Amino acid sequence: MRIKNLNLKNFRNYFSETIIFGSGLNVLYGKNAQGKTNCAEAVYYLCTGTSPRAKRDKQLIRRGEEYAEISAEAEGRYGGVEIYAKITENGREIRVNGNKITRNADILGNLFAVFFSPHELRLIQDGPDERRRFLNVSISQLSRPYYIALVRYNRILEQRNNLLKEKNLNTVYDLLPVWDEELCKYAATIARQRADFITRLAPVAAEFHSKLTDGAENLKVSPEKKYAGDEEELKKRLFNELSNNYDRDIRLGYTASGPHRDDIDIEIDGADAKLYASQGQTRTAALAIKLAEVEIFKELSGEYPVLVLDDVMSELDLPRRKKIAQLSGDRQTIITCTHAERALYGLETTKIKIEGGKVKR
Ligand SMILES: Nc1ncnc2c1ncn2[C@@H]1O[C@H](COP(=O)(O)OP(=O)(O)OP(=O)(O)O)[C@@H](O)[C@H]1O
Ligand SMILES: [Mg+2]
């Protein structure tokens, strides 16, 4: 997958700009607060339909303007694709190859990218919600059924949580099994696909990790143990787990088990990385996991995703930076950094200087 150009209109600090990317390594460089991350954010938005940092789409509109437009032309194994998004105060319109999409799910799978940011490098140090986010963003791009299950699951979960706060307990006990039947259907899809994804990811991540540590350390990534079995079995198990805990959930006023509480097991040399690993170790492991994610995308979609590395080079040591740069040989990579030279290592690159929301030509 390759993004040919990115067009930004009233997006963040951009007024009207086109960024033309090369097919290999692209380096977006410039001083702080010039619009480099904004550019990575725009790509992320076209891939996933959400921003990695804005709570509301409205924040993406250049201050003082009424709307923002982002579009990109990309080239994939099935030919060209054009994605366009217009964001206004009250909503948005998304077009794929000129056709307006009606479901959010339809934005997914048109443009594939894997994102690294300092945020992703904290994948292991941060809480389980970050790891779930990693799984959700990644698997949603690869599987629409997953994304749809996730949206429905969250909707029913919210209703279930409201029900748990209801005063009339008879109503609560009557309705819970009804909600849970529906909830567990989606929960099982989510849990199954996450477990499959992690199982696929694990050996690849271990291999990258071994390379990054010169074989000194052993990384083991695994899904939660309770997720063995097929979707039907999982559904039953999740349903029983909820049924056995009605009282707990009513007391708490929310649903305390299910995929929205799950985590990934990550061990380095047999010890829980979240508890015992040093900062450097967790970063290396996170990097190995992200590099593995790229390979899984290739395996499942048939082509390499675009790699977007926002500001990660400065957080890694030279051998690890080189490793990343080398990987971008046969795939498109977009790197943001403040000093172009330091990130390059003499490799062939397209350098793009960003200054005050403009490409400096
Ligand atoms: N909605 C908006 N309207 C106008 N300007 C905005 C909007 N949102 C963000 N900005 C501005 O965009 C600028 C650039 O942000 P960005 O995060 O892309 O910087 P950067 O080049 O990645 O910098 P750094 O090197 O510090 O990461 C900031 O000055 C910010 O104030
Ligand atoms: Mg930035």
- Co-location of 128 and 99 in the same domain: no
- 289 and 312 together in one domain: no
CATH of the domain at 147: 1.20.1050.90
Q: Are 158 and 243 members of one domain?
A: yes
Distance 54 CA to ligand 1 centre (A): 12
**CA 66 from chain center: how many Å?**
28
Say what the pLDDT of residue 314 is: 81
CB-CB contact of 335 with 28 (8 Å): yes
Q: Which of 8, 17, 38, 55 gets mutated to test ligand 1 (max ligand atoms within 8 A of its CB)?
A: 38
Q: Are residues 68 and 202 in the same domain?
A: no
Dump the DSSP string for 282-322.
HHHHHHHHHHHHHHHHHHHHSSPPEEEEES-GGGS-HHHHH
Pocket-testing residue among 15, 34, 57, 115, ligand 1, by greatest number of atoms within 8 A of Cβ:
34
Q: Whose CA is nearest to atom 28 of ligand 1?
A: 33
Q: What is the CATH number of the domain that holds 348?
A: 3.40.50.300
The answer, as to whether pTM is greater than 0.75, is yes
> Which residues are CB-contacts of 50 (< 8 A; sequence separation ≥ 6)?
44
- Block mean pLDDT (10 aa), the chain, length 361: 97 98 93 97 96 95 98 94 97 97 91 90 92 95 95 97 96 96 97 96 96 92 87 95 97 96 96 94 93 93 93 82 73 88 70 95 82
Please report the atom of ligand 1 found closest to the CA of residue 13.
5
Q: Residue 328's pLDDT is what?
A: 64
The contacts of residue 148 (CB under 8 Å, 6+ apart) are 105
Pair type for strands 25-29 and 333-337 = parallel
Cα 154–Cα 156–Cα 162 angle in degrees, nearest 5: 105
* Three-class DSSP category at 85: strand
Q: Are residues 169 and 267 in the same domain?
A: yes
Scan for tokens 């250049």, then name that residue.
Answer: 62
What are the two backbone dihedrals, phi and then psi, of residue 96, each rounded to the nearest 5 degrees?
-115, 120
Q: Please tell me whether residue 180 adopts helix, strand or coil conformation.
A: helix
Same domain membership, residue 321 and residue 265? no
Domain range for residue 39? 1-112+303-361
